[in-house]
Chain A
Amino acid sequence: MSEKYLEIRNITKVFQTPEGGEVRALDDVTLDIASGEFFILLGPSGCGKTTLLRSIAGLEYPDSGEIILQGERIDDKPPYDRPVNTVFQSYALFPHMTVGENIAFGLEMENVEKDEVTKRVNEALEQVQLAGYDKRMPSQLSGGQQQRVALARALAKKPKVLLLDEPLSALDLKLRRGMQVELKRLQRETGITFVFVTHDQEEAMSMGDRIAVFSQGKIVQLDTPVEVYRRPVNAYVADFIGETNLIKGTVVAGGISLPGGHVLPTDQLAADSVIPASGEVTVAIRPEDLVLATNGVIGGTVSEVIFTGDSVRVHVRVGDVEVIAALASYGTEIPAQGSSVTLNPEHRAARTVAS
């Protein structure tokens, strides 16, 4: 992972708003992406992730900074001179061309020989499991199939980096899950470096080798899915990646005093938690890390019990905050609404986070 393949150096991009204001879509972003990596740019809409992707593609020119691919600067090149290709959110298939012509288009631009074009078009269609669809028009295909054609069109170019701009967001959940698995497989088989933009944290975690979490034009955290999930650097990441109970407490001797009066002992917090000498801290606990306990550190009244199949979500009113615990739906006694319960964090999974 340390080898430098695609380097993003101090990229800044400012957009003018129609009202005369400025939006820093990218604010001095630097990151390295390794060869063959499945890299995720994750963040809410407007966080700059798509602008970064478009800057790599050449559809946007950053105001400052450098983009280097295999040691060569590409940020001043037009899109057609960059060995990268994009799968667009809208698919952007040419409606007046057949599926085959769509895929062949990019190859014709490289003056690939005719026989070779046909061969590579068929190859690409096989890769996305649409062999035999080359004569169809895009309008005759379902959304999922159009998605595959868009993927095949970009893959046929054998790009050094494949850029994917929220390619699955228009698909329904079941199809999306299927495509996630397939994209993973394609990436492994082709060995092409994928840079994948998404706002869906679940998608990010299930596919990415590494995730860069964006907020307001900056990278907040860059790590593997496990690390980002287990060790969020701040409350923003903790909240954005998965579900988290963020509980404000006060530092006291031996632990953190939580709403409701109980004290969460320091030895139950993650070992690398940073605990200030005094004052307020935010404790992050994932719902699935909370279990019912006879004498737990978080106590309150059950305000809601929701059965979701694989778990039972128990909402517990603690002081003026609501804490959610996701309990196993088998083997646990489910508390009734209105009853008093106490909860304990397991596995030292609770941690303090910067707010």
Chain B
Amino acid sequence: MTAVTTPPKKQAQRGQPGQSSPKLAYLPILFLAFAIGIPLLIIVVYSFLEKPSQGTGVKWVFTLENYKALFIQEKLDGTTVLDTRYIKVLWTSFYYSIITTVVTLVLSIPVAMWIATRDARKRNLLVALVTLPFWISILIRTYGMRQIIADEGPIGKFLGLFDISFSILYTPTATILGLIYVFLPFMILPIYASAERFDFRLAEAAYDLGAKRMTVVRRVILPSIRPGVISGIALVFIPALGSFLQSDMLGGGKTNMVANVIANNFGQARNWPFGSALAVLLIVLTLLFVLIMQGAAKKRGDKVELV
């Protein structure tokens, strides 16, 4: 993700007979190529096929109807109107993901900076604590979240003592909370990785030159940890865009994200070609986002490569 120059000494050591053979990398690369490439290919192919009149699967007839159906609805009388349902779903997904990214970013920078300024032993412990949620299945964690924010959960009961009504489960707020909770570590870790390398003597130099605390943060610290911030944004925003567990379990399926609609088309709605078309659209939009980010990063001269 983040290009870091390794000290040449290490490279020299690795260049010795024990150097990792590219052959060892073939198998996992091949596995990844199959596991990502083939499903992707299937999705793309399916998106251009017709839905069978009965049951699931596809009918091997080429059509562009699936893509048309993303934006245009054909009425019974044959007239066509703009269909905003899927655009809205996509917008909802983007909107939730943007909020998630911004909130995790704002929360992560102070945490990452704080961890990075501890001594080495404490740092390792704190990083381990940040990764602690990974030890528990995301499903279980989301269930746990549901219990906590339920109307009759601990928060609800506590606020009930003061006659404050608390009802956020099965609302967009709950979905976003769930997203923030799950993706927070993915933001903290890359920013921490950048912050740890930050030379705090630069902050001292900035103070010495007359900068106040916030100016030091804005003009010296933030630019230095920018590669980590960009990695963090990519690591949070992209998977958040494709999330469906949170809106399914915490949002109560009322406010769908695009992944929920895709899942539904492959499940209950039994419309694989349309689900595929929606998936392709999501992939294209994600890719677009990544390219824009990379373009912005390159413009500023950061050595960040996301693709």
B210 touches A109 (CB 8 A): yes
A59 touches B204 (CB 8 A): yes
Bound-state CA distance A90–B206 (Å) is: 14
A105 touches B201 (CB 8 A): no
A351 contacts partner chain B, Cβ-Cβ < 8 Å: no
| Secondary structure dominating the interface of B | helix
Q: Say which residue of B199, B211, B212 sits within 8 Å of A105 (CB atoms).
A: B211
Bound-state CA distance A94–B220 (Å) is: 7
- Closest residue of chain B to A163 (Cβ to Cβ) is B208
List chain B residues, Cβ under 8 A from A59: 204, 207-208
Bound-state CA distance A79–B208 (Å) is: 5
Bound-state CA distance A96–B220 (Å) is: 8
List chain A residues, Cβ under 8 A from B211: 80, 105, 109
Q: Say which residue of B202, B208, B212 sits within 8 Å of A57 (CB atoms).
A: B208
Q: Contact string, B203-233, partner A, CB cutoff 8 A, digits 1/0?
A: 0111111111001000110011000000000
Q: Considering the complex, which residues of chain B in the window 103-120 have a beta carbon less than 8 Å from any beta carbon of chain A?
A: none
A210 contacts partner chain B, Cβ-Cβ < 8 Å: no
Measured between C-beta atoms, what is the minimum distance from A165 to chain B in Å? Answer: 10
A80 touches B220 (CB 8 A): no
Q: Say which residue of A79, A94, A153 sits within 8 Å of B207 (CB atoms).
A: A79
Q: Considering the complex, which residues of chain A in the window 109-148 have a beta carbon less than 8 Å from any beta carbon of chain B?
A: 109-110
Bound-state CA distance A106–B210 (Å) is: 6
A240 contacts partner chain B, Cβ-Cβ < 8 Å: no
List chain A residues, Cβ under 8 A from B210: 80, 106, 109-110, 157
A86 contacts partner chain B, Cβ-Cβ < 8 Å: yes
Bound-state CA distance A100–B210 (Å) is: 17
Bound-state CA distance A157–B14 (Å) is: 47
Q: Contact string, A89-103, partner B, CB cutoff 8 A, digits 1/0?
A: 010111110000000
Given A80-B212, A105-B209, A109-B215, the answer on whether A96 and B199 have CB atoms closer than 8 Å is: no
B219 touches A78 (CB 8 A): no
List chain A residues, Cβ under 8 A from B204: 59, 79, 88, 92
Measured between C-beta atoms, what is the minimum distance from B304 to chain A in Å? Answer: 13
Measured between C-beta atoms, what is the minimum distance from B9 to chain A in Å? Answer: 19
Chain B residues within 8 Å of A, Cβ to Cβ: 199, 201-202, 204-212, 215, 219-220, 223-224, 301
Would you mind naming 25 contact pairs between A and B with Cβ atoms under 8 Å apart? Answer: A78-B212, A79-B204, A80-B207, A88-B201, A88-B204, A90-B199, A92-B199, A92-B201, A92-B202, A92-B204, A92-B205, A93-B205, A94-B205, A94-B206, A94-B220, A94-B223, A96-B224, A96-B301, A105-B206, A109-B210, A109-B211, A109-B215, A154-B209, A157-B209, A157-B210
